[in-house]
């Protein structure tokens, strides 16, 4: 596992790397793809961003005894359609066994996450399940997430936020993350952010505004509110 600068995580853990980029709005400016390319000297598949396993990393969370908030396969998508379902189950078995940690799992392939949840017996409470939404066309991912039967936290990451999503229904969602695009920089409009904050408040969801939101008006908005909340449950780190 690696320490991370992602504000809401302590570590990232990558038992899988890579993504096919199906229906991905950020494919040409993908942060995970850039980070994975740095591994060329170790793994050509990482450089090529082909979905693949890293068995040598599977048990890493079990070796860390202090509770931590851990991002799962942030260098790709654990639920990519080309990822082995048996391997995904093994990853979940490790997360269930490492019950003192909180695992944050984020996908753009929400249908596959939904499908996997039906085949895995007893979704671990310490695994927070989330989907990324960048545009209005991605909103169906939230519906797939809502359908999953679990007592764990459900969350939506609107990062990067590319357009106004209006008065969307976030009922059943516990946590909302909002952020901008970096490299190249692309900031959302303040009204877009406000609409999501209003939707999150209506749903009773915790709100986490990323530090990369730094358009002047948004900065002023952040200073007044300091919205970097976490949902109840999970480890304190």
| Across 65-78, average pLDDT | 96
Token output for 57: 């990393």
Alpha-carbon distance of 140 to 118, in angstroms, equals: 18
Token output for 74: 């942030």
Model-level pTM? Answer: 0.91
What pLDDT shows up at residue 34? 84
**Phi, psi torsion values for 26, nearest 5 degrees:** -110, 20
The three-state secondary structure class of 188 is coil
Residue 127 near residue 13, CB atoms below 8 Å? no
Alpha-carbon distance of 110 to 215, in angstroms, equals: 30
Residue 107 has pLDDT above 60, yes or no: yes
The three-state secondary structure class of 77 is coil
**Phi, psi torsion values for 181, nearest 5 degrees:** -95, 140
CA angle, 151 then 156 then 162, to 5°: 170
Predicted confidence (pLDDT) per residue in 30-58, tens digit: 878 888 888 777 899 999 999 999 999 99
pLDDT over 70 percentage in the chain: 92
Alpha-carbon distance of 190 to 235, in angstroms, equals: 32
Predicted confidence (pLDDT) per residue in 114-151, tens digit: 998 888 767 899 999 999 999 999 999 999 999 999 88
More confident residue, 15 or 34: 15
What pLDDT shows up at residue 120? 73
Mean per-residue pLDDT of the chain: 90
**Measured torsion, CA atoms of residues 82, 83, 86, 89, in degrees rounded to the nearest 10:** -140
Predicted confidence (pLDDT) per residue in 194-227, tens digit: 999 999 999 999 999 998 887 656 666 665 556 7
Residue 66 near residue 43, CB atoms below 8 Å? no
Token output for 120: 């895995």
Which residues, in sequence order, are CB contacts of 14 under 8 Å at separation 6+? 54, 57, 73, 74, 75, 76
> Which domains does the chain possess?
2-225 (3.20.20)
């Amino acid at each position: 596992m690696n320490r991370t600068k992602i504000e809401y995580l302590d570590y990232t853990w990558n038992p899988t790397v890579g993504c096919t980029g199906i229906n991905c709005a950020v494919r040409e400016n993908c942060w995970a793809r850039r980070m994975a390319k740095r591994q060329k000297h170790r793994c050509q598949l990482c450089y090529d961003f082909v979905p693949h396993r890293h068995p040598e990393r599977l048990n890493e969370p079990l070796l860390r005894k202090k509770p931590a908030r851990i991002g799962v396969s942030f260098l790709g998508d654990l639920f990519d359609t080309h990822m082995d379902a048996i391997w995904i189950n093994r990853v979940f078995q490790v997360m269930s066994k490492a019950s003192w940690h909180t695992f944050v799992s984020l996908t753009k392939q929400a249908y596959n996450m939904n499908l996997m949840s039906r085949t895995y017996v007893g979704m671990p409470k310490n695994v927070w399940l989330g989907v990324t939404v960048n545009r209005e066309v991605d909103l169906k991912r939230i519906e797939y997430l809502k359908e999953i039967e679990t007592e764990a936290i459900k969350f939506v990451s609107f990062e990067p936020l590319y357009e106004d999503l209006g008065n969307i229904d976030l009922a059943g969602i516990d946590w909302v993350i909002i952020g901008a695009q970096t490299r190249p920089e692309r900031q959302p409009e303040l009204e877009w952010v406000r609409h999501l904050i209003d939707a999150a408040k209506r749903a009773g969801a915790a709100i986490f505004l990323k530090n990369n939101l730094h358009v002047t008006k948004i900065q002023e908005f952040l200073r007044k509110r300091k919205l970097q909340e976490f949902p109840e449950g999970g480890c304190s780190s």
